[in-house]
Chains A and B, each alone.
Chain A
Amino acid sequence: MQYVELSVPAAPTYLSLIRLSVGSVATRLDATLDELEDLQLAVDELCLLLLSSSTSEEGRLQVHIEWEGDLVEVRCGLPGAVRSLANGQSASGLGPEALSRQILDALVDEHGADVVDGVLTAWLKKRRVPAITGP
């Protein structure tokens, strides 16, 4: 199991850094552009979900990207993010979260959110499809 960890200021402008890192990992797995961009879109969504649920503008987004075989898992934590995002259960009644779930459903194999050590952490798992990618 390999992993990369990033810690960036909690602001949308740093998402491109995260996208590049995710892209670099996906490239190591020889993902197709389709898969890579789906993964990047999904990670964007995950981070924006956290950013939009944070009450503080000073936190740092902790991003953990790990991969093994055909599987990439991304976990994003943001201390200070408060809204409950538990997967599929407790949409808090706001449009953006329902939209994010719908988008993630379409892009990745699994996604959800847990509280880890008191920090709200959103995660996703995406499996590369060998039948499509491999020559």
Chain B
Amino acid sequence: MTPSRKSEESAGVRLASSSTTNATRDALITSHLGLAHFLARRFSDRGESHEELVQVASVGLVQAADRFNPSLGVEFSTFATSTILGELKHHFRDRGWALRTPRQIQEHYLEVTAAASELTHELKRTPSVNEVAAACRLTSEDVLVAMEAGQSYRVASLDAPWTESESVGDQVMGTEDAIDVMEQRALLLAALERLGPRDQQLLRLRFVDELSQSEIADRMGMSQMHVSRLLRRALELLRAALADE
């Protein structure tokens, strides 16, 4: 199943040349499907079917085959492993389906996200649910359910603490309630410092600078719905961190 290193390298070299043939690319992919299955199995306890995970892993494998550059001196299998793992992690992070969400709702969610960002561009404002529903030929309830499903996520681990001298905690807290303020500040600061820089920035933009989700989306180069999802996750993380304090 696994090709010899020699044939792998020669396949890689040919792939790197501009005249990459589909046959070569396909050979690399086919010979590493076992790797995709193997890696997909490592995520099997997260509530998604093996078939679905293999699909995600296969997308990673195809990307690896497309991007592989043998002149960097890395074997294809090594390169593919990291690309496939990246794709699987990305899948869980960005889709973040906390429970097994029916395929149809996932598809609706993707349509809704695409339509929302297209309409935002077109209308120069965020669209209403009805406008998105019309564009996707879905009912407004379908759109709401899809958006709700898209919001579901696993609370990511807080094992990547991050600190910076200028913390959002300094700004999140106002100066009211003077008696409690020191205690509150200490709690919030400790909790905020356990969030990543992007989450901190999001919270600051939304709740301190009071920018709208679309304004944040513009500023951070992502869709409004993505901002919404990240924001909700950041709040959830913050609450979890506060509960731990």
Contacts and interface: CB of A to CB of B under 8 A. Distances in A.
B156 interface: no
B126 interface: yes
B172 A23 contact: no
10 contacts: A27-B128, A32-B128, A34-B224, A41-B232, A44-B232, A45-B235, A91-B180, A93-B180, A106-B210, A133-B128
Nearest to B215: A34
Interface in A40-59: 41, 44-45, 48
A37 B92 CA distance: 22
Nearest to B225: A33
Nearest to B227: A37
Contacts of B42: none
Contacts of A20: 144-145, 148
B84 interface: no
Interface in A65-101: 88, 91-96, 98-99
Given A38-B213, A95-B188, A103-B207, A88 B224 contact: no
Given A37-B228, A132-B125, A95 B213 contact: no
B179 to A, nearest CB: 8
A134 to B, nearest CB: 10
The 4 A-B pairs with the shortest beta carbon distances in the complex, nearest first, are A95-B187, A93-B180, A27-B129, A32-B126
A91 B239 contact: no
B184 interface: yes
Given A93-B183, A132-B125, A34 B144 contact: no
A37 B128 CA distance: 11
Secondary structure at the B interface, as helix, strand, loop or mixed, is helix
A106 B176 contact: no
B191 A95 contact: yes
B54 interface: no
Given A23-B129, A38-B212, A95-B245, 4 more contacts: A41-B235, A95-B183, A98-B188, A102-B172
Given A99-B172, A132-B125, A37 B213 contact: yes
A33 B116 contact: yes
A31 interface: yes
Interface in B164-215: 172-174, 176-177, 179-180, 183-184, 187-188, 191, 206-207, 210, 212-214
B177 A91 contact: yes
Interface in B130-150: 130, 132, 140-141, 144-145, 147-148
Contacts of B172: 99, 102
Contact of A94 (B127, B187, B212): B187
Contacts of B147: 23, 33, 37
A36 B224 CA distance: 12
Interface string B94-121: 0000000000000000000000100000
A27 B179 CA distance: 42
